[in-house]
Structures are given as C-alpha cells and as structure tokens.
Structure 1
Amino acid sequence: MSKGLGYLVLVAGVAGLGYWGHADHARKIETAIKVQARSLAQTATHSVVADVSGRDITMSGLVDSQSEADRLLQEADAIEGRRVVHSDFEILPTASPYMLSAEKMADGAINATGNAPNQAVRDTLAADAEVAGLDTLELASGAPDGWSDSVMAGLAALKKMQTGKLQVEDQTVTLTGEADTSADLNEIETISALSPEGYDWANTVTVLRPDVDIYRFTVTKTAEEITAEGNAPTEEDSAKIAETTGLSPVFSLAANVPDGWSSAIIGASDVLTQLETGALSIENNKIRIEGTAPTEEVATATAAALDALPDGYTVENAITFIPPDIPAEMSVTYDQERGLFVDGVAPEGLSAARVAAALLAPAIEGDLQETATDEADPIIGALEEVQPFLGELETMELTIAGDQTKLVAETLADADLDQITNRLSALKGLDDVIVTRATVSYNEGDTRINPLTGKSETFMQGFWIPKATVSEASVEVCGDISTEILEGQQILFLEGSADLDATSRQVLNALTGVITECFAGNNALVIELGGHTDSTGNDDANLALSLERAESVRAALISRGIAEERLTAKGYGETQPIADNETEEGLAANRRTTVTWDEVAEAPEPEVDEAPQSDTEELPQPEVDESAEPVSDETPEADGDGATAEDGGETEGGEAATTE
C-alpha cells in the first residue's frame, strides 16, 4: 500500500471514529432528557405526556390549572441539554362551588353526581359498588384539601340511613333524611366527627324507630267506639296487628321491642273486644286490662285467654261482670291537694266524664262500672247542687248507695262552718250531711295548683289567692280582667242581709288576685265598690242595704290584704238600673255590686289608725281626679238567693258583682 493510500485510510478512520463518538453522545443526551422529561410529567395532577425528539421536548395532556402548566414548562426548560420546549396542555375547568350530591332511595339504591379532583380519586370512589354514578363524576379543579376523604365519610354516613341525601359543597357537608334506629344515628354522628379538619357537618337526620324507655300499646272501648294507639317495631308488624285484631291503631314505630310484642297485642286486644266497655294497657312486659264483661261466661273465657298470652308477660286482670240487678253504689271524693276521684258501680249512662262535667271540674281520676238499675239523673242533680260549695271544702266524700246519698265534708279552716252546713243540709239531693272544720294549716306564701281550676294559688292572709296575669296596670286592662272574672262568678249575700254568702269566697279571692297585681303595678289606681238594688220595696231601705253590702265587699277585700285607703264603698240603691224592673230577669240584673276602677292624680296615703285629735278633725281622704274617665262594664246576677229588707226594702235576690 502506498503512503498516500495509508494516509487516506487513517483520515477516514479518524473521521468515522469522530462521527460515531458524536452520534453516541447525542443519543445519551436525548436519553437523559427523555428520562427527566417523563419524570417531570409524572408529577402532574392528571395525565401529562412528555415527548422528546432530539433535544426538543413537547409536553401535552390535562393539567389542573395554569399555574401547574407554568410549573411544568419552567421545570422542563431547566432540563440540561434541552433545546426547545413545546406545550400542548388542556387546562381543567375550575368548579365553584365544588360539589358532590348523593341520594339514597327507599329501595337502598344510591346515586351520585358532581365533581372529582382527578382520575385517581374518581377511580377510588368508583370502586364503591354500592354507589352508582361515581365513575362518571366530572373532573374539575378547585377541590378543598381533604375533599375526597369528606366525600367518602359522607357516603359512609348515607349508607347508614334508610333514605336521605348527602351534599358536599366546598367544606360544608349536609346530611338530611331518616335513620332507622338511634344506634344508626349514633354511628352517623361518629362518622361525622371523623371528617377532616375544617369541614362543617350539618346533620338533619330523624330516627324512624327511636329508642323508648317504655314500649306502650293502649286500647279503649266505649259504647260508641274503639280507639287504639301505641308502639310497633315495623310497618309490617303494624299492618299485621291491624289486620288480625280488626282495629285501626295509630302506631309510632320504635326500637327495643319486647319479645312476643305483636302476639301479646293481638291476644289481649281480642279479649278487650269481647267486653262491653273497657281499657287495655301494655307497658313493656306488663299488661293491664279492665272492663265489664257482658256475661259471666265471657268473664271466665277472657281470663283463660289472658293466661295463654306469651311467656314473659305479667297480666293484671281487672275484668268484672256485674249482674244486671245489682244496685248502684259509688263514691265521689275530693281533696284540695289531689283533686277529684270517682269509683264504684253507677247507673247506666253515668260515666266519670259526666261526673266531672256536673262538678265543672277539668278532670277526674278513676272510673265507674255501669249497671242497668237505678237512674242517673238524681245523682247528677245531687252533684250539681254540691258543685258551688267545692271551693269552700278541704275534703269531701259523696257516697251513693241505692237511693241514699250521704255527704261527709271538711270546710276550709276559716270558712263559715254554720252557713255551709245549713246550706248543704237544705239541699234536696242529699239525705245525710256531716260537715266539720278542717284542722290542716298552711303557711303564708305557700303555693299550690287548684285542682278545680288548674290555676296557681298563693296562701295570703288566710286565703288561697289565684295568681293573676296583668299585662298593664291600667284602668282599662284591670277593668277588663275583673269583668271577665265577674261574668263567670257572682258575689252573693244571705237573704235580706249584708252578710256574704259562703260561696262568694271564690270570686272575692279571684278579684283579690287581680287587684293585688294592678295595685302593685300602679300606685295611682283606686276602686269604688258600688251596691245596687232593684226598684222593689222602700227607697231608703234599698239605699241603706246597698251601702251595707258594698261595705261588706270592701271589708272582705281588706281582710285579704288589699290596702283600705284605695277602696271606697258607696250605695246607689235603685237609682242606676241597667235593665227593666218589670220582669224577674230585669230585677235580677239590677241587683248587683259594681267595681269601678279609676286613677287619681296622686297615690292615696295609707289610712291612719289613730283616733282624731278632736271631734271636728277628719282623717285624710284620697284626692280623685275628676277629669278621669272611669271604665264601666256590667254583669247582671242570675236569679238566685233572695234578699229582703225590713220596712219595705228590697225583697229578693243577691247582688252580682260587676265592673262599672
């Protein structure tokens, strides 16, 4: 080989070696760029691809935001050896508010709609096969920190509900719907407490079957209808009980049902339906049934049926059979502390409710069994005669045995024993009356609830004074309240006398309650008590009697603690009629006591008990504002006790108190 040829071969070898070395270096640089670019792409929130051609980088795909796109391009631009960086990003839309909603239907199906922050979260949520729609959640940016954990907690709580809705809006989680039991609700609350920090949960979840301390069922059978209500564990049990018993119960679903509950209800209800009247009560595992069996055979059969109820239940059998010829024998008792009670065998048609109505009582305890013998009307008549005196009695026992009626009573400690005894003894409906004075004592300021009125009362100055509610201590308001009292009650007097009837105590006590409140709220209020008569008899005698009666009312109010300097009494006789004196109704209307409220310029000074210094010295009198306009309302007295006056005075009728 010539020297020239050898030289050429050497040059070619060196050039080839150089080219190979350059190409190999370029491949290494490109490989390094690819590794770094692809690693960078994996840091993206969503799916981003990094393509490298030579030393050029092209990044494309879905990015969460413009700031993420800027970060990826900036870090790609920093890769050593890169030449040009290209981008082809799709920026994910931002959702505001960021939401997910789910609803659980009655069949247990759950459907969800809303947003997911990325595909990985969507795939994780979609793995929950119990919830449909999670795999199609719309990807969007803007999710708060911890959002996916809160969504999963919310879905877990929703699964514990019977039906309901879940809404996750930004950092507020709202659950509404119904949980089956209290235990389920407790689990929901526990899940809520484990939600990520910063999330507010608003749960409005009701319990379909709450826990109850006493599982109850009651049935009442009267001559007219049967009513039933109580607890049942499920709707299916409710339907079964209704279908089997033929009843239409009003059920409240509840958990913690005792074993054998439905069977116990069905068996005991079947017993009750065989009775003429009665009541069934089941509380947990205790059964009580009472009533009247139509025949002795039914009474025996029902007892056997009760013995066959499910094990674990105790039965109190109060079913009775009353032979049709048994006489009525019943008692009505009254106690100022406990109220009214009734017991025994009553004539047909006389129920405990009718006894309460005859006594004008809001409620009465106990029950009566009915017999076909005797009549109810005489007993009702006796009760109605006794009613006006109940408020004057501490205790009472009225017993009816056949055609004999006996009353044993104790009056209040300071009541007029002789008057009450005489009045009760004169009643036609009572055959035997024994009245004594109660020895019970009370302390000033003691309180109670009056069993006859249901009102709160305070023991003041020896009297039980009802608590009055006065919105404003004014002439108008106080006048309206006292008018309302006097429209329902009367101030009565003994015939031909200024002595108060014993039954007037209650209306005077009620007036005292109002006057006390009004005077306490307005020191300028004063009252005139006016006596009025009809036109029968001598004018002068009527005038004198009307004044005496007004003064009796004033004295009664003062004895109850009303300031005497704020009360005046005046007799008007027959000079201010409010009705025609030509009829009995008109005469009764004109016989009345009026209560006139007024307001003076200066509060009255307390009266001085000291005697005057001389025969001519007068005690100070309250100054009355002559320009004040008194409020006038009048309530006529119904016909009642007569009043006679000597020398041709008023001849009949007590005077009803009114406001004028």
Structure 2
Amino acid sequence: MRISHTLPVFAAVLAGAVLSLAAAAFSARAIESTSVTAVENEMRLGGYDWVEVSADGLQIVLTGTAPDEQSQLAAQRAAGHVVDSSRVMNVMNVVQQEEIPAPRFSIEILRNDDGISLIGLVPASWDRAGFVADLKKAGGTGSVADLMEQADYPSPENWAEAMEFGLEAISRLPRSKISLAADAITVTALADSRTQKASFERALKSQLPEDVPVKIDIAAPRPVITPFTVRFVIDEAGPRFDACAVETPQGHLRILAAAKSLGLDNPECTVGLGSPSAQWAAAVETGMRALAGLGQGSITFADGDVTLIAAEGTSPDAFDATVGELETDLPRGFTLHSSLPRAEAEEGETRPEFVITRSPEGQTQLRGRIADTRSRAATEALARAAFGTSSVYSALREDGELPAGWSVRVMAAIEALSHLSQGAAVMTEDLVTVRGQTGDQNAKAAIAGLLAEQLGEGAEFRIDVAYVRKLDPVLNLPTPEECVARANQIVAVQKIVFDPGSTELNEAANDTLDRIAEALKECEDVEMEIGAHSDSQGRDEMNLELSVSRANAVLDGLLMRRVVGVSFTAHGYGETQPIADNDTEEGREANRRIEFKLLAEAAEDPAAEDGSGDDATPEEGTEEAAEEEPAADEGTE
C-alpha cells in the first residue's frame, strides 16, 4: 500500500486518541471538582470547618488540624459518606494535647482498738513501705491494713510534711480518723475527757506544718458525774454555783435561765451523765427558787438527797414555811434534809477544830484535834498518800471527847484539799470550810460532790475555791522565768533597733516587738523590767536620758500590743552596765541593747542602783555639752 493511502488513516487514529485523552482529562477534572465541592459541603454541614479539602486525581485529600483524634476520625468518616472511602486520604494533624494532670493524692488513716487501716491514692515514687513501717511504730501496733492505690506521678509539694504530721497525730490519738493531703489535713478524734482533749490539741498544735492548713476536731464524750451534784449558794457576795451538773441540753437551759433570773451573771453548768431522775432540772430550779425566797443559805442536790441549810439569823417561821413548801414541790424521788444553824458560840466557849493547810511550795500541815492514836495514824497516812510523804508535817492533838463521826469528817476534809494546788480546809463539829486556789476547772464541783456524799445528810460546808489559769497543768503556761527568757531570746536574734540618736521605734523594731508580744501572750501575772543600755560615747547624762527614753518607747510599744499577762516597768541604765569593751565598735554595738528581767531580779541587782529610772533627768548644761561631745550612742539599740 502506498503511503498516500495510509497517512490519512493514521492521522484519523491519532486525532481520535488525542480527543479521547482530552475528553478523559476533562471528565477527571469534572469529577475532582464535583467531589471536592461535595466533600467541602459535607465538612461544613458536619461542623468540621478546620478541614481543608483538595483533590489528587481521583483521591480526595483531607488536611488541617483536628482538635482531637475523635474529631479527626469523624471528619474522615463524613467524607467517606460522599465519595468512596477508598478515595479519601487522611493527612490531618491533631492538636498537641496537654500532659494529663496528676490526680489529687490523699490518704485516710483510720485507727481504733482493732488496729490501723489506710485508704487512698498515693504517688508511685513515694516510699510507701517505709511509711507503713513508721505507722506501725507510731501506733504501737503490727496490724496495719494497707488498701491504698498508687499512680505513676511524682510526690506533690508539701506531701512529705503532711505525712510527717500524720505520723505524729496517729501516735497520740488512739481513736481517730486522719485525712492527709498536700493541700489540707483534717483530724477527727475522740478523747476520754476535756482534760485529755486539751492535751491532745496542745500537742498537735505544737507540731503543725507550716505550709499545710490543718483542721482539728477532737470531741470529748459527756463525763459520768457521781454523785450527780448541784450546789447553789446565796450569801453576802450574791448567788453562785459551787457545783452544777445537768444531763440534757434542755435542762441546761432551764437551770441557767433560773440562775440568771435570781441574779447570777454568766452561770455555768456541766452537761454529763448520771442524773438520778428525769425531773432533775425541775427539782433543781424548785430548790433554787425556794432558797432565794429564804434569803441566804445553801441548797445541795447530791443524786436524790437534797440538803437545805439556812443562814444564821433566819427566822424560824420563814424557815419552816419554806421547808414545808419545798417538800411538797420537789418531784418524787427527792428527799429533803433541812438545817437552821445555831448561833455562834458564846465568848469563852471553845469548839474542837481540825485544820489542814497546803502552801504554794507544796508543804502540808495538820493541826487541831483527833480522836485517838489509831485515828491519828490513819489521818497522817492519808495525808502523806495525798500530798507526799516528805511534805507533810503533823501537829495533831488527841482528844477523846470529840463528837461522833469526827474522823470521817477529817478524812473528807483531807480529800477535799487534795483537789487544790494551795489552800486550807477547816473543820468543826457542824461546818467544813474549804478555800484556796486550783488549776482544775472542775475542782469546785468535785469538792462539792465529795463533801455532800461523805459528810452525810444535813451537813453544812462552804467552798471558796478560785480557778487560776497559771496553775492549770493542761494549759502548761510558761513560768515567769520562761517568759523573760523568751523575750531575751528574741532580742538576741533580732535586736530592737533605733536610728542613731533617735528614740522612735522604726520598722525593724516594731517587727521585733510584734514577735515579743506573740511570745508573751500566754504569760500570766509576770512583772517584768525593760532595761535600756547605751555605749560610752557622749556624756553620761545624755546616754542616761537616751536610754530612759528608749526604754519607755519599748514599754509603750508593748502596751499598745496588749500583752495583758505582763506588767512592764521601763528603766534606763545609760552606760553604767557594759557587757563588752567600749573601745571597739563591736563592743559598743553589744553595749547598745534592750534587756528584759523579772522585777525581783532587777531589785536584787546591786548595779541597778547606779542607774536611774523613768524619772531620771539630765543635768543642766546637757544641751551645750551635746555640741561639744560626740553624738551620744551613735548606732542601734
């Protein structure tokens, strides 16, 4: 075949191929555009605005940054609903997720008579086994149930500090629940008495961590009171309770309301267990109002026994009427005993007496009458058992004509005095008087219950006992010597600073006084001297005047901070009592100082007589001398 015949055929075939390719390309572009548009619409409808859609041939490419993996997969599935899922290429990124925060680690420790159990979540990096071992030692038990879970995170800040406090708390609280965490600690516990509760709280507060807040809730159950006692007295000083016990909150309110209506300010009663009758509060109120109608005297409820004693000089008719009405009004179960004391002994008539005294130093003396040798030996033995063998001095005299029951009343007087830190018990045939001071808030009630029980029906007794906080062993108040030491320790570390030649307290001095006031807030009845000293630069008179002014400035600063338990006296010594060499700057710095002393110590110091106190005044010509001499006391106190 000739070429002229084949060329047109070849050209036609080539043209057809080119047209086919062009048609195919156009069709592919149309499909790509349609698919991209359809997928974009689906993304917008699905809320996947962050997805970017493009085409690569017949492949649909999804790009963009998904907020999380779930959203990324959901966008891919939505695109697969529009085009064949095999055509969808997922090249989307996912936002970088923040590191999952550590959980809150905490431990709950439960301790009772059966042992200790631990529940909570703790860091895996923490020495869990060591803590459990320490807990066994602290609790004194080998039974520790460890139910804690752990997570692989480092221990949070203050975790070790919280755990250390937990060990201290569990060692002191036999019945407790302690929740420990790095940001908070909660202690819930039971105590056997109010005294033990105060002891627990004081011990725990002394160990509080600095950076972790602690909540302490220690409950003391209501005490069992026996005999259940109320003693209400009206005398020249007015009405008062020597003892007051109630069993229910409603009864508590009723008795306190009655006391206030009879003129008693701020009455107090102990809510406890042991009441002999559900009508206790009603009976007590009835008795109190009967005594108020009589005028003066005392009424004592000891369980079901009621003793009404009128004051000397009470009209017999009024006494009989009051007794009769009270016997009728008292609820069933209460038995009334009444007494109208006889007049004082005539002049020249002597009555037998027994006296026991206890001094503040702890020395005890027995004086007066005792029935016989056997009673004397028993009395002295009881006193030695109560007050200590070496502290008892006996000067008893035997008398065979004493009234019946004398020895029993002596024993009651000794036991009553044992509740006091210092005081005396004086006993006669018809009266026991106990007076003194104590650090036990419940001592008066305990003495009233004891005497009511042991002296018998109708016995008269008087109680004049004062509670003194500084004698309370539970409060553990510092001694006067300890108070002075606290103040001097603070100024030894952070001196009370004055600007050169100034008597005004600056910021640093005020900060030191704040710390001293805080350290002395528990001090009671302390008389303390504030002594200001200077170096030897300048004239003696100028230094003396300056030290007096500075001592008074410190005095004023402490008075403003209301250190109520301390009585301060300011004293300026000038340069008369150096403690270092005034020829060196270091020595002069040491001599410029503020010192605290007990007033008794200051009075015994012979050197104190050389200085002058608050009333010291400079000699005439001091101002002129100041211009000629170096500036007095250039530096700081």
Calculate the TM-score normalised by the size of structure 1. 0.28
TM-score (norm 2): 0.29
